[in-house]
Structure 1
Amino acid sequence: MKKTWLRAGVLATVAIAVTALGTPADAAAIRLAWRPTILPLPPGAGAGNITGSDGKGEYTGTFRVNDVTQVVSWRNGQPFLRGVPSGYERVDANDENSSGVVVGTIHDYETFTSRTYTLDASGYHIKDNPAGYQEVTGVAINTRGDVLGEAYQPGVPRAVVLWRADGSAPVVIPETDDLSSPRDLDEDGTILLNSGAGSALWKDGVLRHLSPSPASQAGGTAIRNGIVVGWRIWGGVEQAARLSTADGTVGLEGGGLALSVNKAGLTAGLVPNPAGPVIVGNGAVWRGTAPGVVQGPSGYSVFKTQVAADDGTLAGYASNDPSAGSGVPVIWRLTP
């Protein structure tokens, strides 16, 4: 489950031998790469981002279509619009689980309110904001259907919000210096969030900090089955990292930042960009801690791998504008 950092840069040059699903293979095997496919845009669509996948061939993201920011999904490689419910002017998609349930944020410009929603085959299901909060953004959803959000209200501390799949009242956790900015939600309901200069895990009221050791600092952007990926400060620079245990980090070779990890440990991220105006660049991939190679689509200088899907594909976007933060939708498959 994903989180998005929009930067620009260069392509990683490290390749490894892998199987068709990204698993390390015999060193003598032919080296393979994740190869890009640009997905077609619906009529009237502009740039956007893919932010989630069901891991079964569906990809979902946020795109501007006919001057309306809305959710677009691709099935069998073809796009379809998910619509905007009456009374709302904008819908953003942030995540999708293996059942094809999308979570994100829906906006009402007239009342200046934002609410978290889920979207499935039967349509939109808009959650009530906890009392005292005008804006609640949808951050992530896990396989069983728990939903993670973040609540805002001028003049009061922000709060982490957890809607459990059992339909019980939402858990509202006021943010502090030691607990803030929810990043992702694991399958067992563990929340990954910021904590001071690092990250921590919250579950059922218990907060556990993640050690940056042997690095000086480290933080997570995504979690899946207990594996946290993100970044660490190593040799004075930011490096993509796997926070594999509560007391240590492992660097991801050739990477500047890790963004998403799937159920098998396949990780999507970005390479460093030390010569540019931002610190990370184009797409990168790792199976566990072993680096692979991501090929850029022809005709585009910028390409971002932001989602590691459960079927071993990657998803993101491509552009020729390093500062745009969005582009045409792209998926990457591991092919001979």
Structure 2
Amino acid sequence: MGGVCLNDVQKAYQRIKSHVHLTPVVTSQFFNKLTGKELFFKGEQLQKTGSFKARGACNCVLVNKEKNPTVPGIATHSSGNHGQATAYAAGVAGLPCTVVVPRGTSEVKADAIRSYGARLVYCEPTPQARKDTCAAVAAETGYAIVHPYDDYNTIAGQGTIALELLQQVPDLDAVLVAVSGGGMISGIATVVKELRPECKVIAVEPAGKELGPCLRAGRRLWADPPRFLSTLADGCTTQQCGQLTFPILCRLVEPEHVIEPSAGMVVAAALSDQLPADLRRVGVVLCGGNVDLGRLPWPAASAPQTLVQDGGSS
């Protein structure tokens, strides 16, 4: 596959729809009055495994099995939602799964990944170590690698969010999408620009990502090696977008973007004054859940240890 088009996303939807939820769109009169806009919240925190990641993982795993029915298993690297999603998708396909996680990953998240049947392999807490360790696992086992975002099949799966959203709310002026590696916004933008080209797709990024200057320049300005951001939005810690996703963002996503430091980035963006006044009907993708409350800056004595819904992680 040399890229992603609407037809790829439609095929992905047929492939995965029996394994994922059609998530609801909800509205809030309070938020509408507060912003002077009509906001439509797409609830991917209610998706299988707690985030949108189940869509891309299911599509990628099932495509791998279609292409190679004897594939012995699935490998990936993740510190959170993508690991859970891939383990779930491997279970759907009847395949074993190994997830590479960085040392220091919270036991809450590690246990959540194991709960879907995956074996964990630990690595150093850097982007390159995650990739290298996953590649070593795949070389040793023959497992197929499911990348968290930089795979066209993953991107096509994430684009199914937009197929549903534009069926549920067909006349949107804009869609707000959080960005980490770029798989979700690439898939969403591919669908939106085919079905409703006048609708803007606006990236919402954590402070420090600096995606806006890259989009305006039309080239990657990030320094190598890749690094993780320090942000409460623990699902958006990847500073660089992918080699496959970034060109899609340059082509289809608005060069204007919204910067938010908080974990609920897209909600904060929707309520901010950074959106143009002429955007009246705005879709807001609530991308996922499973943040470890113990990692948030609570007073130590009162820190809960359970998971709640928040931004989807890679």
Normalised by the length of structure 2, the TM-score is 0.29
Which one has the bigger strand percentage?
Answer: 1
Which one has the bigger helix percentage?
Answer: 2
